[in-house]
Amino acid sequence: MTAPHLGIATAATPTAPTAPAAPTAPNPAPASAMAAYGLLGMPLAMAALPVYVQVPAYYASELGLAMSATGTVLFAARLIDTVQDPFLGRWIDHLAQRGKLAPALWLACLVLSATFAMLWLPPVRGGALAAWLALSLILVYSAHSVVNIAYLAWGARVSGEPATLTRAAAWREAAGLAGVMLASVLPAWLLGASGWPAALAMAGYALVFAALLLGALALLLRHAPAWRHHSAGVHGWRATLANRAFRRLLLPYFLNAISVSIPATLVLFFVQDRLGAPQWSGAFLATYFAAGACGLPLWTRLSARIGPTGAWRLGMTLAVAAFVWAAGLGTGDTGAYLAVCVLAGLALGADLALPPVLLACLIPPGEQPGGYYGIWSLLGKLALALSGLALPLLAWCGYQPGAGGTAPGSHALALVYGGLPCLFKLAAMLCLRTVPAPPMEDPT
């Protein structure tokens, strides 16, 4: 297949040059090419948030599926979604090796567009509704994982320079944060203020999502920096896990992902029952995500100066300071918490952009990145699942939702929301010391 229109460049195994080549400065990709790569992050985020947030209430409240059945289906589908990612990563490597990635991405995006709409428009009711939900979720999760893992792997192969990799990641995560903010507002408005029936409202959202997804994929394949494809064969999991630097990175990444997932799980409880300001929830979340997007250029420049490891460590330090402050807040401290959202949002930019760049720098040039990002994605989803254990922990500590900021359990809520993430973050920082600094030159 031709490289210019598919965005995939091939590189043969290096041979000894006949004459020394004069050193040349790396030619940075233009901003338009980086934007073409990053834009796909927006629709991918637009699909993920409603599936996790809106689906349970939609099926239980709008469609009448029993809560127990809804919960069982969600758990089983998410378990399948988590386990399949390493297998999908290896499959993506094989597709890239054979030059068949672009058709697979088109197929996955078409399946994702159709099944995302299918999720909101079930033609069945009663006992068959649970089966429809299970089938729809498995197809949505699978198609989304294929596109997302391939997308992350592409970002690892746009360059061998950490600065360029960080630029690509910043564009990707900025678009993703924009997608999160859009997904936070648009479905809620369509289901509430628009006055449309629920099915029609979500069908409209699915149509917008499909148009953005397919348009972003077309831009990625035609105008993004090329996936610099190597001729080496696809390595198995044993070879991937034999990469000592990769193994050492997994633990700090996993611990840090838990530290991010816990406050994400508990934030609405904290705002309602610790701060006593549920009416501020939307403003707090918007501030948090906006600060994350605004901080991405800062982390990009900082990573170019001190490397992705040092910049990520500074981001972790900022997050610890923010959540230590949050743990001491109480009823009425809305202004202080707004400042916490700014600081934590800035730190979020580092957590989103820098770990994938660090991983990309640690993948040898002769190995395909899909298998690495399949394992990476599994750990991120596992961290999200484990963060749910914070709820039974709070129940054991005496917290009852809706009890208010003066109830004894609210102190436990503050400590678990603000203090527990700091412990995981500090442990991640300690483990990060064992990860070797990435090479600063282009390995190709």
Decide: 275 and 331 in contact? Cβ < 8 Å.
Answer: yes
pLDDT, tens only, 186-203: 877 777 766 778 788 888
Distance CA 153, CA 148 (A): 9
Same domain as 281, residue 423:
yes
pLDDT, tens only, 55-96: 877 887 788 888 778 878 888 888 888 888 888 988 998 888
Same domain as 403, residue 299:
yes
Same domain as 53, residue 152:
yes
Average pLDDT over residues 234-259: 83
Q: Average pLDDT, whole number, for the chain?
A: 83
Q: Is residue 314 part of a domain?
A: yes
Q: What is the pLDDT of residue 5?
A: 33
pLDDT of residue 418 exceeding 90, the answer is yes
Same domain as 327, residue 202:
no
Same domain as 214, residue 284:
no
Q: Is residue 8 part of a domain?
A: no
Distance CA 118, CA 123 (A): 9
Amino acid occupying residue 73: V
CB atoms within 10 A of CB 434: 13
Distance CA 85, CA 370 (A): 10
Same domain as 244, residue 220:
no
**Scanning the structure block, which residue is given the tokens 């300001």?**
277
Same domain as 309, residue 200:
no
* Closest among 295, 268, 247 to 394, alpha carbons compared: 268
The H or E element spanning position 229 is strand 227-230
Q: Which of 191, 207, 227 is at the close of a domain?
A: 227
Same domain as 182, residue 298:
no
Coil, strand or helix at 444: coil
Q: Domains in the chain: how many in total?
A: 2
Q: Which of 189, 204, 227 is at the close of a domain?
A: 227
Same domain as 388, residue 262:
yes
Q: What is the pLDDT of residue 9?
A: 38
Q: What is the pLDDT of residue 404?
A: 64
Same domain as 255, residue 395:
yes
Question: Which residues lie closer than 8 Å to 268 by C-beta, 6 or more apart?
Answer: 278, 281
Q: What is the pLDDT of residue 234?
A: 52
Q: What is the pTM of this model?
A: 0.77
Same domain as 268, residue 216:
no
Give me 299's structure tokens. 């982390």
Q: Is residue 28 part of a domain?
A: no
Could you tell me if residue 203 is left (phi over 0), alpha (psi between -120 and 50 degrees) or otherwise beta?
Answer: alpha
Amino acid occupying residue 408: P
**C-alpha count within 13 angstroms, C-beta hemisphere, residue 171:** 24
Q: Is residue 121 part of a domain?
A: yes
- Min mean pLDDT across 118-122, 301-305, 356-360, 367-371 is at 367-371
Q: Is residue 23 part of a domain?
A: no
Domain of 402 in residue numbering reads as 237-433
Same domain as 268, residue 198:
no
Q: Which of 167, 197, 227 is at the close of a domain?
A: 227
Distance CA 391, CA 394 (A): 5
Q: Is residue 315 part of a domain?
A: yes
CATH classification at residue 293: 1.20.1250.20
Q: Is residue 11 part of a domain?
A: no
Q: Is residue 46 part of a domain?
A: yes
* Closest among 367, 405, 150, 144 to 270, alpha carbons compared: 405
Counting residues of the chain whose pLDDT is more than 70, the rounded percentage is 87
